[in-house]
Structure 1
Amino acid sequence: MMPLVFKELWGRKRRMVGSLLAVFLGVTFLTGTLVLGDTLAGSIDGYYSKAFGQTDVSVRNSTSVSDEPWGSRGQIDASVLDQVRRVDGVANAEPVIEGSGQLLAKDGTIVESRGPRRAGNWLTDPKLNPYRLAEGRAPRAPNEVVVNRLFADEGKLKVGDRTAVLTPEKVPVTVVGISMFGDEKAFGETSFTAFSLEGARKYVAKASDRITGVSVRAEDGVSQDALAARIKPVLPAGTEAITNEAQVDEGMSKIESGFLQIFRTVLGAFGGVALLVAAFSIHNTFAITMAQRTRESALLRALGAGRRQVMTIVGFEALIIGAAATLAGLGGGLGFAQLLRWLFMEFRIGIAMEGLTVSTTSLMIAVPVGLLVTLVAALGPAVKASRVAPLAALREVAAEAARPTATRVVVGAVLGTVAAGTVLFGAVTEQPAMAGAGAVLCVVAMVALGPVAARPVAALIGGPAARTRGVSGTLARDNASRSPKRTAGAATALMIGVGVVTLMTVFIGSLGASLENSVAESFKGPLVVNAGNNATGGFGTGLARDAAKLPQVERVAGAGTGSLRVDGDASTVSVADPSALGRVLDLDVTQGTMADAGTFAVSASVADDKNWRVGSQVPVTFADGTSQRLTIGAVYDNTDMTGDYLVPRTVWDAHNRQPLDTRAFVDLRDGASVADARRALTALAEPYGAPDVQTKDEFVTAQTEEAQGFITVVYGMLILAIVIALLGIANTLSLAVHERTRELGLLRAVGATRPQIRSMVRWEAVIVALFGTGGGIGLGLFLGWGLGGALGNPFAPPVVTLVVVALVGAVAGALAAIRPARRAARLAILSAISAP
């Protein structure tokens, strides 16, 4: 049997190559996304393992108020340092001070960063310091700093330059050194500006008796666990000693359960889309080859082969193709991962990823999945081939039924109705899980109904071609219509790819419209001072106070963000003067009032979940370890600008020595010029690091700017999935041309010219591509509406983008047909007529 399998494969190289290509591309896509996830995880792990130098034990505040790996902790008493130094087994211990610190470039603007913007003290012990000096020297005076290489380059700073650091006060400094994080320019994209210990106490800690922690190095022969156990008894309440190994594991676990989990899920989803698209291409290829081998299968049955043997032959063919293509796909996946890594670094998404990391888990996923997808895709054609009657060898057999069965029509209609109803119900009731389940059912229903719709839709789409291109257009339309399963199979792969692209496009448009509506509804003023989307950055709260004194300004309110534990849960909160914020934003207060500057307010959704109301006492814990109960003074419904919690600035500043605003909402006096006010605010903001002064529209655009780089990469991956689908169309046409060799020869014999044959094949490809593209756009629009509605977003599809997608689909279909059309036109008439 095996010799027969290899003979079949080798005898039909074109079919084999088409199947190999489909599997190869799918496995390449999956492997590349898995390896990229491994690479990012490995890079982050490498960064974190070096984040504390050769520190063996760290002493820190025991209160954690954030689930983010970069979430800072409160300060501790500086006297802990002397107590730790006296512990037996301590070789050295140094104080650590760290807090907010935004480096200004040479031109006085903030050096932009996607990562945290930190400042602290330079550790004098090289073994405890994760940074090393690449140029210059360590800081000695309070106003001398060392800056890391990445931000020195970004800010065009060099040793000897004068600049400033916002802590949040503007501190004039001299750059005396450039540092490297090991061999890297920075810890990811973290900006770290190092003062001397005296400077860090003065400008960052804001006190001489407070530090952030202590880094401890053990004597030779003393383990990390043993040293931590010795230190713990001497520590005061509210502090803890943690080993370096535990600290690294803690940070990595937060990253794994947060950012990396989302990152892997998104990449895995697109890998799944690519494999699904490839599966349809594989299935279509096997379906055509099995249809072409109907008489051959019948001859095998006539010679005594059983159904199981016929199925086994096809199964072995699929297994061999799947194995060969999967192995090749593993190599291709490494190249694809390298391309994705370059894209992510080019768009500055995540952290620098040096080299590729390949885990055993990824290989154990990619290999079985590649084989399984190939076998499952070939299963249907194999079963159909095994059912061929032996007598079929004695007569002409239709390669494919011209019409779908009644069962398919009924099942597809039921599935489609249930799927559409589920999506509608999820959208109306705002249940994303329900809408997501409906979306999956929609894809299944689309697959079932594809052959049902293919015949009439192909006839409809091909109508203009038949009218304008004469005989070539008519034949193209008829060819696409007479094989509905084949047309649907080729179009479905493209339909899924285009559908996901459309869904993402609609989702982004709806997200932008939702943000625009929320800003328009809640904020009536024309200008916003915006520090950007980085929560660790901001500007001093004095900016809002100074802005209120401008003659053009009627009202202004600053707002910042922070972390604390609310009712035991780590939470991100907004920090502002509620009375001032309530005058510039419409938060839709449903209970209580925000007239008092000391009002603690919560969203209506949280109040309902927690059964809170005005007057309820809510326990909160601040980063410095202090716990207290805040009384709810207001409940509001509009959370777009503030989130679920609004903490009074007076309460927050009592527990934070570096108060920051990230936004200031500005309302102008009647008749005041927006342009004049903007110029005045821009000049006023310069000493605060020159945050952007934006119009309302610019502010809305800036809110989605953070995700644009990632969205660009997502589009790139989806386009590659569409390329797989287009290759599937080309493969289907190539096989169809081979199948119709005699037909094409007869057409040439009765007078058809080579250009007419080429035109016929090209228009057939365009019809299939338009069928897939149109179906994908329709599916994407419906699911975009449903999923967006379930998330509470308005339906706002970007029409221009969707028109471009449709045009690209048609053009790509024509491009996919170039080689099959050329081959069809080159067939010799006599040999084509005599073909079996």
Structure 2
Amino acid sequence: MKVTALLASRAARTHRRAWAAVFAALAFTSLLLGALALALASAGLGHPRVARYAAAALVVAGDQNTRFTATPWGSEPRTAEAGLTERVRVPAAALGVVRRVPGVRAAVADEVFPAGRDGRAAVGRPWSAARLAPWALRDGRAPRRAQEVVVGGGARVGGRTVLRVGGVDTAYTVVGVAGGPPTAVYFTDGEAHRLAGHPGSVDAIGVLARPGVATEELSARVRAALDAAGARSVGPRADGDAAGLRVLTGNGRGGAEFLDAGPARAGLLELLASVAATVVLIALLVVSSTVVQALRQRAGELGLLRAVGATPGQLRRAVGKEVGRVAAGAASAGAVGALPAYLALRGVLDARGALPAGLELPLPPWLWAAPLVTAGVTVLVARFAAVLAGAGAAKLRPAEALRESAPGTPRKVTGLVLLLVGVSSAGTAALQSGAAAGNAAGAAAVTMVGACALLGPWIADGAMRVLGAPLRRYCGPAGHLAAANSRVAARRSGAALTPVVLVTAFVGVQLSAGATLTHAGAAQAREALRAGLVARADGGLPEGAAERIREVPGVRAATGVVRGTVVLARRETGEPRLDRLPVLGVTPQRLTRTLDPEVREGSVRELRPGTVAVGADRARSLGVRPGGTVTLRFGDGTPARLRVVATYERSLALGDFLFSRDELLRHGALPDRERVLVTVAPGGDRATTAAALAAAVPGVRVETSPAPVRVAAEDQALAEVVTVAAVSAIGGFTVIAVLSTLSLIGFGRRPELRLLRLAGAGRGQLRRMLRLEAAATALTGLAVGAAVASVPLLAFSLGVARTVPYLPVAPAALIVAVVAVTAGAGTLLPARAALRGRYPGRGAVGG
């Protein structure tokens, strides 16, 4: 043990410059893994914020989940679950059941509905529900009559305020001002239930406990009472008896208020898990190759130690201790930066509004230790790589250590197999859609990069056969030296290519895949939009607004449009899957004159409740055509078997399904989400028509430059922010890997460069040789990386967007510039010491 400790300590001091490159790679690995661990743990602990039910001991709400059970091949039945973003309501009869439970001090029915208050968005509720927060009166009194309200702020007691609910304007008298959000408006219980428009049901029931009654005990009693009474969520459900009511306590109470928070948390977890898996794969590849490269540069030293009597076991232990010391310091340094990196990611998510309202991602102090765990994982990865490298080094003989050994056939075969697997994965991406296609494309890129890492020596040899001729012909002695060096040291050149290929391929795939979908979707949205005006109103448009707008002089066509969600149940390799999809509901009259979905088959004029139009790609995957049927679940969990009336092309902009507007409103889509798209008659003036619209339908706001309709644009914000953050982090990681690998190679070449100086090569010639080698490495890495990226990207973009891959000029130029700068710096900086000073014979070839 003393011998191995001595060897490890001496080697660490002697080769500290070489280990600096390994230190940087390991520190950044630890930082990335630590930040991702914090993000995953925080998302795992995430929950909807408890706001308006903060004073309630528990909340009774509808079941906001839908389930699908299927039996995979040769396995037991499995159940997939997805959150619903439309309100699942509670039967009003449950209120009496809850009130009779022993220990219940009060059970309060809550209704929440959108309203417009003096031209601004507001939220209406019954006054009795204010005690669930609790929000008390600051001035005035509680409402007693239907035309009286209490407001959250911005009004004086005794004044009048105009409220719009369901598209109808009504004047109310303000009799009180309460605490809480300024957008809240409280009505009498009877008026609130009338305005909510759901007779026989309520949004939720808040329960206040009697003094001394434990929440857990009361929850069990309420649960038992509801089950005994057979209380179920309102409406039919695809999952049968799974549609019981929920009894929520603690942080779960917020789920009855912020419906989007639960599904968004699940999506965030899935996205972060996918990113973390990719980071771990790349970290394994880069850290292992960096450690192996650091030890490979010392092959002569290790061979000499074997010659003077060091045993294989001593060498393995010495290498392990040496790498362990470097890894421990690097991992600790990276762990320190993990928390600031995570906070920076949270800051970007908050600044971009990528997280839905009400989703809290806690970061308790005990969670700050998570980066220490990932730091330990980083050390283990480095030690494992050292064991593998040390096992090979321990078998070296002195004669073998002094020459470059040729890569073996098993390595070539393994690389070719991985290449075929990557191509197959790209083929899978062409057959998938959405996130599945993106994941398959990413997997194909990572697999093919791994293949290139194994095939690096052969790729480098082939590249220098192509580049060698022009280098020798046009670049003089330096070109001859660069071509000869790259071909003779094929393994070294291959190791230099791997990180360049990695950064080019991975960043190219990640950026281009998202940019291709965004670009194609935006193009489809621009082509689909025919309207020149859009009308909307806080609190909802009045009933028949589209019909009234069509009668306004100067209007050629008007289409009501409302956003909603549906859930599609399907099997993927036998596993049950539930996909939540954003959709549009439209009024079909003259639809193509305001919003043209580019119908392929059938007619959208037949859209009405019970029917659906399907995007062409989704129709192909489901095997349906006009006249067929498709089974979906609406946003409130209601199952429906719908007749297909048309298929259309522009699904990237308009979503995979088009419904009748009335169908989506019937299943929970909020009326205040509705917009009316208006096309001005030929020769008409937009401003004049907009003024006529505002006069014909009081209370509406008319935009004269409507943005193109993109149904999934809001849902993509979270994925875009996380993807860009991940690409930036991993791009920086792979840049460090490029610098580390090239620096290690440069440190190992110092004796070679000194020998060339002694043989008469001048400093200028050697600098030019190194620049040419860096250029050849960058050019080859960019070309191979682009080729690797093009295979999955072509499959992905042709299969999903029916277009060629798209990458904006700025990111493409940035990739090229970063690769060129890092390749040049990694090649030239380590060679500076070898190029200093004067050597005999320097004038023999010229300076």
Q: TM class, shorter-chain normalised?
A: 0.7 to 0.9
Choose from 727, 738, 751 the match for 1:729.
Answer: 738
For structure 2, the 5+ residue unaligned runs are 68-81, 235-243, 571-577, 843-847
Residues 95 and 214, structure 1, Cα contact 8 Å, conserved in 2: yes
Which of the residues 262, 265, 274 maps onto 1:260? 265
SS in 2 for 1:330: helix
The residue that corresponds to 1:777 in the other structure is: 786
Do the aligned partners of residues 325 and 170 (structure 1) sit closer, same or farther apart at CA in structure 2, a change above 3 Å counting?
farther
SS at match of 1:72: coil
After superposition, the C-alpha distances for 1:198-223 in whole angstroms (9 at most, x for unaligned) are 59717841489864332111112333
Between stretches 724-733 and 405-414, larger displacement belongs to 405-414
2:240 corresponds in structure 1 to none
Match of 2:463 among 444, 450, 457: 457
Cα–Cα, structure 1 residues 799 and 230, in superposed 2: closer, same or farther, change >3 Å?
A: closer
When structure 1 is superposed on structure 2, of 2-11 and 298-307 the one drifting more is 298-307
**1:234-278: per-residue Cα shift (whole Å, max 9, x none)?**
797767764332881894999898433432343344444444444
Q: Structure 1 stretches of 5 or more lacking a match?
A: 111-116, 148-156, 181-185
Contact 1:587/1:639, CA 8 A, preserved across alignment = yes
- 2:89 matched residue in structure 1: 74
Q: Which residue of 2 aligns with 1:55?
A: 56
Q: Which residue of 1 aligns with 2:845?
A: none
Report the Cα distance in structure 1 between the residues aligned to 2:700 and 2:250, rounded to whole angstroms: 38
Q: Deviations over 1:442-482 (max 9, x none)?
A: 23322222221223435766888888876666655654554
1:556 matched residue in structure 2: 558
Measured against aligned partners, the alpha-carbon deviations of 1:595-649 in whole angstroms (never above 9, x if no partner) come to 47555235485799598984979898895x9x89877373545572665655544
Matched, 1:659 2:665: no
1:448 aligns with 2:468: no
Change in Cα spacing, 1:529 to 1:125, as seen in structure 2 (3 Å) is closer
* Residue in structure 2 matched with residue 486 of structure 1 by the alignment: 492
Instruction: Give the C-alpha shift of residue 32 in structure 1.
Output: 0.4
The corresponding residue for 1:547 is 549
Deviation at 1:689, TM superposition (A): 5.0
Residues 1:242 and 1:109: Cα distance change in structure 2 (over 3 Å): closer
1:110-153 Cα offsets, whole Å, 9 max, x none, are: 6xxxxxx8543455665x216689x9889757454327xxxxxx
- Aligned partners of 1:602 and 1:749: how far apart in 2? 78
Aligned to 1:687: 699
The CA distance in 2 between the partners of 1:650 and 1:735, in whole Å, is 67
Once the two structures are TM-superposed, the CA of residue 11 in structure 1 deviates from its matched residue by: 2.6
Decide whether aligned partners of structure 1 residues 657 and 381 sit closer, same or farther in structure 2, where only a CA change above 3 A counts. Answer: closer
Q: Residue 706 of structure 2: SS of its match in structure 1?
A: strand
Q: Is contact 2:564–2:635 with CA below 8 Å preserved after alignment?
A: no
- Structure 1 residues 602 and 315 mapped into 2: Cα distance closer, same or farther (>3 Å)? same
Given the alignment of the two structures, is residue 498 of structure 1 paired with residue 504 of structure 2, yes or no? yes
Amino acid of the structure 2 residue aligned with 1:100: P
Alpha carbons of structure 1 residues 692 and 783: separation in structure 2 relative to 1, 3 Å: farther
Assess if the C-alpha contact under 8 Å between 1:598 and 1:651 holds in 2. yes
Residue 600 (1) aligns with residue 601 (2): no
- Map 1:624-643; keep pairs closer than 5 Å: 632=643, 634=645, 636=647, 638=649, 640=651, 643=655
Alpha carbons 2:449, 2:498 under 8 Å: kept: no
Q: Specify whether residues 3 and 74 from structure 1 end up closer, same or farther in structure 2 by C-alpha distance, changes over 3 A only.
A: same
Report if the CA contact (8 A) 1:34-1:264 is conserved: no
User: Is the partner of 2:83 in helix, strand or coil?
Assistant: coil
**Contact 1:505/1:797 (<8 A) preserved:** no
Q: Deviations over 1:552-588 (max 9, x none)?
A: 3322221223467899999766433345547754564
Superposition deviation, residue 98 in structure 1? 1.0
1:129 maps onto 2:133 in alignment = yes
- Deviation of 1:34 (Å): 1.6
Shift of 1:26: 0.9
* Residue matched to 1:113: none
Percent of aligned pairs with the same amino acid: 20
Cα displacement string for residues 723-750 of structure 1 (whole angstroms, at most 9, x for unaligned residues):
2333333333433443333444455567
CA contact (8 A) 1:607 1:635 kept: no
The within-5 A match list for 1:404-483 is 404-405=407-408, 408-409=411-412, 411-413=414-416, 415-417=418-420, 419-420=422-423, 423-424=426-427, 426-427=429-430, 432=437, 438-457=444-463, 475=481, 479-483=485-489
Structure 1 partner of 2:28? 25
Task: For 1:24 and 1:453, locate their aligned partners in 2 and report how far apart those are by CA, in whole Å.
Answer: 30
2:239 counterpart residue number: none
Calculate the aligned-residue CA RMSD, in Å.
Answer: 5.1
Whether 1:245 aligns to 2:256 is no
After superposition, give the CA deviation of every residue in 1:661-713 in whole Å (9 maximum; x if it has no partner): 54444444344466866787789899335568426xx445x964763575355
Q: 1:254 to 1:737 in 2, by over 3 A?
A: same
- Cα distance change of structure 1 residues 18 and 170 upon mapping to structure 2, 3 Å threshold: farther
1:453, 1:671 → 2: CA distance? Answer: 64
> Is 1:711 equivalent to 2:720 in the alignment?
yes
Structure 2 match to 1:183 = none
What is the distance in 2 between the residues matched to 1:458 and 1:493? 18
With over 3 angstroms needed to count, the CA separation of the structure-2 counterparts of 1:447 and 1:340, relative to structure 1, is same
Residue matched to 1:150: none
* Mapping 1:569-648, distance limit 5 Å: 574-581=584-591, 585-586=596-597, 588=599, 590=601, 594-595=605-606, 597=608, 600-601=611-612, 603=614, 614=627, 632=643, 634=645, 636=647, 638=649, 640=651, 643=655, 647-648=659-660
Rounded to whole Å, the distance in 1 between the matches of 2:732 and 2:566 is 48
Aligned AA for 1:669? A
1:150-549 alignment runs, 5 A limit: 167-169=165-167, 193-197=184-188, 201=192, 204-206=195-197, 211-222=202-213, 223-229=217-223, 232=226, 242-245=246-249, 248=252, 251=255, 258-350=263-355, 351=359, 355=363, 359=367, 366-367=374-375, 369-390=377-398, 397-398=402-403, 400-401=404-405, 404-405=407-408, 408-409=411-412, 411-413=414-416, 415-417=418-420, 419-420=422-423, 423-424=426-427, 426-427=429-430, 432=437, 438-457=444-463, 475=481, 479-516=485-522, 518-519=524-525, 523=528, 525-527=530-532, 529=534, 542-549=544-551
- Give the whole-Å Cα distance in 2 for the aligned partners of 1:823 and 1:122: 79
CA 1:628–1:548: 2 relative to 1, 3 Å: same
Cα distance in 2 for residues equivalent to 1:103 and 1:75: 27
Q: CA 1:651–1:416 in 2, change beyond 3 Å: closer, same or farther? A: closer
Alpha-carbon distance between aligned partners in 1 of 2:60 and 2:781, rounded to the nearest angstrom: 61
TM-score, with length taken from structure 2: 0.76
The amino acid that maps onto 2:793 is G
User: One-letter code of the match for 1:494?
Assistant: V
Secondary structure class of the residue paired with 1:791: helix
Look up the equivalent residue of 1:58 and give its one-letter code: V
Q: Indicate conservation of the 8 Å contact 1:600/1:646, yes or no.
A: no
After TM superposition, the score normalised by the length of structure 1 is 0.77
Q: Secondary structure, in 3 states, of the residue corresponding to 1:694? A: coil
Separation in structure 2 between the aligned mates of residue 732 and residue 263 of structure 1, nearest angstrom:
34
Deviation digits for residues 273-324 of structure 1 (CA, Å, limit 9, x no counterpart):
4444444443444344433332332233334444344334333433443344
Match of 2:18 among 8, 15, 20: 15
For the residues of structure 2 that align with 1:61 and 1:644, how far apart are their CA atoms? 27
CA distance in 1 between counterparts of 2:823 and 2:97 reads 74
* 1:733–1:51 Cα change, 3 Å: same
- The equivalent residue for 1:797 is 806
Identify if the C-alpha distance between structure 1 residues 102 and 235 changes in structure 2 by more than 3 Å, giving closer, same or farther.
Answer: farther
CA distance, structure 1, for counterparts of residue 492 and residue 479 of structure 2: 19
Specify the code of the residue in structure 1 equivalent to 2:167. Answer: E
Q: Indicate conservation of the 8 Å contact 1:558/1:581, yes or no.
A: no
Q: Distance in 2 between matches of 1:817 and 1:364?
A: 34
After superposition, the Cα gap between the structure-2 partners of 1:247 and 1:780, relative to the gap in structure 1 and judged at 3 Å, is: same
- CA gap of 1:574–1:281, structure 2 versus 1, over 3 A, is closer
How many residues align structurally?
785
Amino acid at match of 1:215: G
